[in-house]
Chain A
C-alpha cells in the first residue's frame, strides 16, 4: 500500500505572529517556519503503519516556495521514503491544493492519503475534505486512532460526546488530529541520509488550478485588552464592580 502524506510549510507554533503594519498580512520576514504540526503527526502515523507491514511506501509532498524543501527533508529524515515538491511562489488556497493533490494521487497510484486536519497558519480545515470529494473517496477526519485491516480502515475520532469510530473502505483520505500519536525525534544520522533520498520537483504549470479564489481584504490583530486596575481591598472591588454594573 502506497501512502501520500501532504505537508505544509507554516509559521512555527512558537512564533508570536504579528500583523504587518500596513495590514496586508502577517509578518513572515525572518520568522521561523516549520512543518505544520498536524502533518508531522500524519507522517508519523504513516511510518508506524509501514513499520507494522501494512504500508510499503510513504511519499511526502508539499506545494510551496523553494525553501519548503527544508520541511520535506525533515520529514524524509523522520523516515518517509521519497518526496515530491510542487514549487509554487504564490499563495495556494485549499481547493487549489486539493486539485494538485488529486493529480499526485492519480500519477503516483496512491492507496491512502494521511494528512493533517488543518494547517496552523490559516486554520482552513478544508483540503482533506475537498480532496476526498474530488477523488470520490471516503473520508475520516480528525483521527485520534487508525487501524487498517485488509481493505478497511477503522478510525477513532474525538467528538463532544466521546469517541466515534468510523469504518471506511480504502482508498480513503484520513486527516490527523493532535492526539493520534507523538511524532518521534529525528536522529542525526537520518538527517544526513535524508539528503540523499529522492526528491522530485514538479512545476505548478503541470496542474490545473484555475478555480475561483478568495481574496483577503484586510488582516487585523485582535483588539487589545483594556489594562487592569489594582484595587485596595474587597470593598473597593465590590464598589467598582457595582459601578460598572457587573454585579
Chain B
C-alpha cells in the first residue's frame, strides 16, 4: 500500500517505553526543556509489555529521579535477605555465603511494569509526548543512508493484508536523533544491526528465556524482602539457567525461571522446566493453596561485553537491552538501561548527534561494569561446575585476567534430535496445567483478523528438514504455545496461533534455521501485564 502518509517532526524520537527509553526521554527534557521529545510504545499502555524479576540497583534511578520513592511503583520492597541454593531432584543445598555480584543489600524488589508507568508519569510532567499503542514498524532512511525516524504500524488490515473498514495507515515520525530502546531482540534494532553491520566487531548476541508468574498466597507464608535464587535441577549440568523467587508484600510472590537459549537438547521445554521446579519439595509448600495472578515470558539478553554491538549509526542509537547492556551474573539490566538512556540524552545535548556515543558507553560506567564480568556467563558453556569455578576466579580477580571467552549464536547450539533421548515429563500438579491455561493469565490479545506477525519465510522446512532434524522445537520453546504442527488432509503443517503471542521473542532467537521473523502486530496488541 503506497499512499501519502502524515509526517510529524520531533527533536528526539524514542522507540520503546522501557526503563532505557524513558530515562532517555526524561533526561533529555531535564537537560533542555525546550526539546520536542516523543516516545512510541507498542503496548496498549506503558508497562503492559514489560516483565522482569525485578530486583533493581537504585543508584542510577536515584540520579535520574531523586524523588522516585514519593511516587513508588505498586511493588517496592527493600531486599531484606539473600539466599542462593543448589537444587537436586529431592533436596537443595544453601550456599553458606552469597557471592558479591549476587548480594542485594540496598536493592529493591519492584514491579518493573509498574515502575515504568511511574517513570512515564514523570516524563509526561516534563512535557514528553508518550504514545502507547503505536509500534515502530520500521526505521526510515534518507538518501544518504541515515536513519531519519520510523514508520508506525498500519491499523485495520485484515489477515490477507487488505484494508478493512477502519483502515488507518501508520504515519512517519522524523527526528534529529532516533533512539531505539526496544529491549532484548528489538524488531527494528535487528534490521539496523544487519543494515549497518553493527555487530561486525562483536560476538553474536546471546539470550535466555525468562518465564515468570505472580502468585497470591495464603496469609503469613512470605518473608517480604527475601530474594532467593537457585541453580541446578531441573536443568542438567550442561544447561545454563535457574530460578528466582522474590517475596513481596501483601502475601504476593514473584517466581520465575530462566533458561539460557544456548541449550542443546531440542526436546527441552523451558515452560515444563519451570513447572517442574515449582513442584520441588522445597518450593511446592510455598505455593500450594495459593492462586496465580499473572503469567508472562520475555527474552533476556546475556551476551554482555563481547556481544555488545556498536551502539551508534548515522542518525540513531541503540540503548539498553536492545543493545545488550545487562549484567548477566547479577541478572540485572534495569540500572544499566537507565544509565544508557541518560548517557544518550547527554550525548544528544552536547553533540546533537549519535557520533561518539559508542565510545562513551564503553569507556564509561556501563562498559566498566560489563567488562569486569565478561567471562562469567560464557564459562558455563563447559557446564555448571566449570562455570562456577571460573566465575569464582573471575570474581576474585575482578575481571582482570587477560583473556575473554567467546559467545556463539544461540540457534547454532541446538543439537539434532537423534543425539538426545526424549525427556520424561516431571511430576507436577500445581497450576497452571499447560501453556494455554498459563497464557490466560498474560491477558494477551490480538485481533485475529490481521496479518500473522510471526513471519515464517519457508513453512516447507517445518515439515521436511526441521521435523526430521529437530522435531519442530518451536512447538516446545514458545512459552505461549503459538506454534503447533497439525494434520490437515493427512499432511502435517505448521499452525501459528499468533493471537497467543506474549512478545517474548524466543522464536526469533532460537529457531535453528533463522527463518522466523517477529514483526510488530497491530498497535496495542500483545500481553497486558499487571504488576510484572
Contact = CB atoms under 8 A, between A and B. Distances in A.
Interface in B6-64: 6, 8, 44-45, 48
B440 interface: yes
Interface stretch (A85-93, A188-196, A204-212, A235-243): A188-196
Interface string B515-532: 000000001000010110
Given A29-B74, A32-B44, A32-B48, A185 B156 contact: yes
Given A32-B45, A32-B48, A32-B528, A15 B168 contact: no
B129 A31 contact: no
Contacts of A31: 530
A21 interface: yes
B485 interface: no
Contact of A15 (B8, B129, B134, B443): B443
A12 interface: yes
Interface of B: 6, 8, 44-45, 48, 74-75, 111, 113-114, 129, 131, 133-134, 152, 155-156, 165-166, 168, 171, 216, 219, 250-251, 293, 440-441, 443, 445, 523, 528, 530-531
A21 B219 contact: yes
Nearest to A70: B45
B74 A188 contact: no
A188 B172 CA distance: 11
Nearest to A15: B443
A16 B171 contact: no
Given A32-B48, A185-B155, A187-B168, 12 more contacts: A30-B531, A32-B44, A32-B528, A32-B530, A182-B166, A185-B166, A185-B168, A185-B523, A187-B6, A187-B171, A188-B134, A192-B129
Given A32-B45, A188-B8, A12 B528 contact: yes
Contacts of A103: none
Nearest to A13: B445
Contacts of A188: 8, 131, 134, 152, 171
A18 interface: yes
A14 interface: yes
A31 B152 CA distance: 27
A232 interface: no
Most buried by B among A30, A182, A186, A187: A30
Contact of A18 (B152, B216, B445): B216
A12 B441 CA distance: 14
Contact of A14 (B129, B134, B166, B443): B443
B528 A21 contact: no
Most buried by B among A16, A18, A182: A16
Contact of A189 (B8, B440, B531): B8
Contacts of A182: 165-166
A15 B528 contact: yes
A229 interface: no
17 contacts: A12-B44, A14-B528, A16-B441, A21-B216, A21-B251, A30-B113, A30-B530, A30-B531, A32-B44, A32-B528, A185-B155, A187-B171, A188-B131, A188-B134, A188-B152, A189-B8, A189-B171
Contacts of A14: 443, 445, 528
B125 to A, nearest CB: 13
A234 to B, nearest CB: 23
Nearest to A33: B45
A184 interface: yes
Contacts of B293: 16, 18
Interface in A1-59: 12, 14-16, 18, 21, 29-32
A10 B265 CA distance: 46
A15 B441 CA distance: 9
Contacts of B530: 15, 30-32
A16 B292 CA distance: 11
Contacts of B441: 16
A16 B531 contact: no
Nearest to A187: B168
Q: Which 10 A-B pairs have the closest CB atoms?
A: A30-B74, A185-B155, A185-B168, A30-B531, A14-B443, A14-B528, A14-B445, A184-B166, A30-B530, A30-B114
B151 to A, nearest CB: 12
B161 to A, nearest CB: 17
Contacts of A12: 44, 528
Nearest to B131: A188
Nearest to B152: A188
Contacts of A29: 74, 531
Most buried by B among A29, A31, A186, A188: A188
A1 to B, nearest CB: 25
Contacts of A16: 293, 440-441, 443
A31 B530 CA distance: 6
A16 B216 CA distance: 14
Nearest to B43: A32
Contact of A30 (B111, B129, B134, B443): B111
B427 to A, nearest CB: 16
Contacts of A32: 44-45, 48, 528, 530
B502 to A, nearest CB: 13
A192 to B, nearest CB: 7
A214 B6 CA distance: 51
Most buried by A among B48, B155, B528: B528
